[in-house]
A and B are shown apart, each in its own frame.
Chain A
């Protein structure tokens, strides 16, 4: 652990006042960007247990926000159970293109009985093959992102060469749960691979993610980039914070998130103590007023991975651009011959 380690900071926008109406969402996103937040996480659940409307689908919200911001990372949530990998791969790749390398994908796998009941179709029961499908899904998506090598999109007016077909590859994936021929119909994303986030507790996909989300800074594969999910209750005083926490039902830390309660000094101290253990923190706000308090009172005092806030989402998380797995194989084949 080094004393000068910084943290990447993400805000998860969920709950009343943070996601709707659309104008509020844009204002929240822009304020977060102006304050130097590294990324926003857009949760997504294709089902509801109530008669009330939730936010628009993350796959549409994220590019809409991308068009109205310029620096902040945008992590869209997509389930392996309810998407086709070809659709998911091109949506996230397209988000990376329209945001100039700011895209991430939070992969979730369920289970979710209510969502299953919205997505049954001939030959497809999301509940039946959930784990087998999840186990293959991320690898297929990464292969599709790699199916166009960098530089395959040529468009050279002078020669009339639009693409370089030798750098575009079928993936011919044929697994127990998924079959996808490829190639994708989108050029390789600016980051190579948009950043894949997964919960460390989500067994079928945790080993395939770029970044693991953990609820305890000591949990998860310590050799890999991890972000800690944090539910903050920041009060003017410790007593005020305790009151806010109690009013929210006094949630406790568990394997999914760390609950932090205190005045700004206490919260800064607590969060800073995790720098070096984890790459970053994803803040899950329970109350819209907490966003402003955290942004004003805590955020400016945290040491950051990229204090200049420049570059792609990978840059902000200290991750290198993803190498192309399919192009590497081609290069190896050439060397061998």
Chain B
């Protein structure tokens, strides 16, 4: 293998931050969701740090009940609108927009993405999601949420049509558009596209998911595959290796970048980083105890338990009701926790450095805050510790890079780009400057040849 692997880094933008209480942190802007100037500034910070992309997630429904457990899922500016405003304020950083084919049609998706790729000069990527979220169906005239098979069949045909429209769109001279006359299972699309072919030829494609269908789609079609949080090292290793093996079978092993999500809680010292992590958790709002035990949707990105003492009691298998969150938990209580509880205790120690019997003891709050399912792997530490973890995963082939989930906006973005990125650059792991202006160039991917319809 002659090609040097290089680390890739993106910035996942949820205006609330990815910690459920991130928006309440003193360094956060609580109203970031509607402050386009701030969103542009965050994107410019990502660009100064030479990141590959800024990522705009989306969800096609809302649920006010998520305000304390997952406020990022409640409300945001529409992604293409946001992306266009970011495009106007940046020149190099890639821009990932989420578009869900389940509730759209291929011509519209091809057209919006090609338009954006023109305005940002070849920096667009499409995060193809099929929508695990049943609530969205009711906003689009459907009685029922389609099952996974139908959503993937629909998405696959959408992708074929979108790619054909781009391949047969007018070329760089603005001429030569050709009809595609697609007649498929779900779509009938004549073409040609009325917008010129994207400067990248094919807009960069991202996908995610752990099912067989999603892994296959990612390995066959995607340029970047996002890896969700995996409970164990073995699961992380399996996912990475499986995507690469599948991609190799399609003859594109070098063309798929696997990017897990990563929430870095970083500060100049370990002690300060742990204090920051504790501060974030202390800002969480617990659910009323009478609503105990109900599973609540975390909004299309996994399910979690309600954040409450009772939910924590159930998960850890010990009675935590009425506990003082700041008090230390007796060692005998910790010794009695469930098997899942023991796994969470190890997580707590990894994140907080607190243990059952050492000088810094695990608190009741640690148990309660560790109950909800995490959106991404979290690392707490000083810049060297965070860079060590990134380097280890990269070198151990658990990741080709990371989609960075800042816990607060803009504070955690600033922390990562100011503290961690320079250390990664110093180690020669991450680029010191862009080598090109398009996202394909950042990823080391050529513009694919045009295929006739």
Contact = CB atoms under 8 A, between A and B. Distances in A.
Contacts of A168: 62, 64
Interface in A144-180: 148, 153, 155-157, 160-163, 165, 168, 178-180
Contacts of A160: 21, 24, 68, 283, 285
Contact of A91 (B64, B80, B193, B194): B80
A82 B139 contact: no
Interface in B19-37: 21, 23-24, 28, 30-31, 33-34, 36
A306 interface: no
Given A53-B175, A120-B188, A122-B185, 12 more contacts: A46-B107, A48-B192, A60-B116, A64-B85, A66-B85, A86-B60, A114-B190, A118-B191, A160-B24, A163-B64, A181-B139, A182-B139
B76 A54 contact: no
Contacts of B135: 181
A53 B170 CA distance: 6
Most chain A CB atoms below 10 A, which of B60, B62, B68, B189: B62
B351 interface: no
A184 B62 contact: yes
Interface residues of B, number: 72
15 contacts: A51-B177, A56-B116, A57-B195, A66-B85, A84-B103, A86-B139, A98-B85, A153-B34, A162-B23, A162-B74, A165-B64, A165-B67, A185-B61, A185-B62, A186-B78
Nearest to B174: A53
A122 B23 contact: no
B245 interface: no
Contact of B85 (A51, A67, A120, A121): A67
Interface string A41-52: 000011110111
B75 A121 contact: no
Contacts of A179: 138, 141
Contact of B84 (A47, A60, A148): A60
Contact of B78 (A53, A90, A183): A90
A46 B175 contact: no
Contacts of B89: 67
Interface string B73-99: 011111011111101110000000000
A185 to B, nearest CB: 4
Nearest to B120: A64
A198 B138 CA distance: 28
Interface string B269-288: 00000000000000101000
A303 interface: no
A22 interface: yes
A311 to B, nearest CB: 19
A207 to B, nearest CB: 23
Interface string A83-117: 11011001101110110000000000000001001
A95 to B, nearest CB: 6
A141 interface: no
B133 to A, nearest CB: 11
Contacts of B87: 64, 67
Interface of A: 20, 22, 45-48, 50-57, 59-64, 66-68, 82-84, 86-87, 90-91, 93-95, 97-98, 114, 117-122, 124, 148, 153, 155-157, 160-163, 165, 168, 178-187
A162 B67 contact: yes
A319 to B, nearest CB: 22
Contacts of A67: 36, 40, 84-85, 87-89
Contacts of B108: 46, 82-83, 119
Contacts of A22: 118-119
B178 interface: yes
Contact of A54 (B61, B195, B285): B195
Given A97-B36, A120-B187, A121-B105, A153 B75 contact: yes
Instruction: Tell me which of B30, B116, B118, B185 has the highest count of chain A C-beta atoms within 10 A of its own C-beta.
Output: B118
Contacts of A180: 138-141
B251 interface: no
Nearest to A186: B75
A303 to B, nearest CB: 33
A120 B190 CA distance: 9
B131 to A, nearest CB: 13
B189 A118 contact: yes
- Counting chain B CB atoms within 10 Å of each CB, the highest count among A118, A119, A161, A185 belongs to A118
B191 A157 contact: no
- Which of B78, B82, B138 has its CB near the most chain A CB atoms (within 10 A)? B78
Task: Name the residue in A63, A67, A84 with the highest tally of chain B Cβ atoms < 10 Å from its Cβ.
Answer: A63
Which of A22, A45, A156 gathers the greatest number of chain B CB atoms within 10 Å?
A: A22
Given A67-B40, A163-B67, A51 B178 contact: yes
B235 interface: no
A186 B194 contact: no
A97 B194 contact: no
A180 B83 CA distance: 26
Contacts of B452: none
A250 B62 CA distance: 53
A157 B23 contact: yes
A317 to B, nearest CB: 22
Contact of B31 (A64, A153, A183): A153
Q: Which of A53, A93, A94, A124 has the most CB of B within 10 A?
A: A53
B30 A56 contact: no
A86 B59 CA distance: 12
Contacts of B59: 185
Given A53-B175, A60-B112, A120-B188, A187 B34 contact: yes
Residue of A52, A98, A160 most packed against chain B (CB within 10 A): A98
B81 A63 contact: yes
A120 B189 contact: yes
Contact of B192 (A51, A90, A182): A51
Nearest to A147: B62
B74 A185 contact: yes
Nearest to B189: A118
B84 A63 contact: yes
Contacts of A60: 80, 83-84, 112, 115-116, 119
Given A157-B30, A160-B24, A86 B140 contact: yes
Nearest to B138: A181
B104 interface: yes
A51 B112 contact: no
Contacts of B196: 53
Contacts of B31: 153, 155
A278 to B, nearest CB: 31
Contacts of B107: 46, 82, 118-119
A117 B190 contact: yes
B224 to A, nearest CB: 22
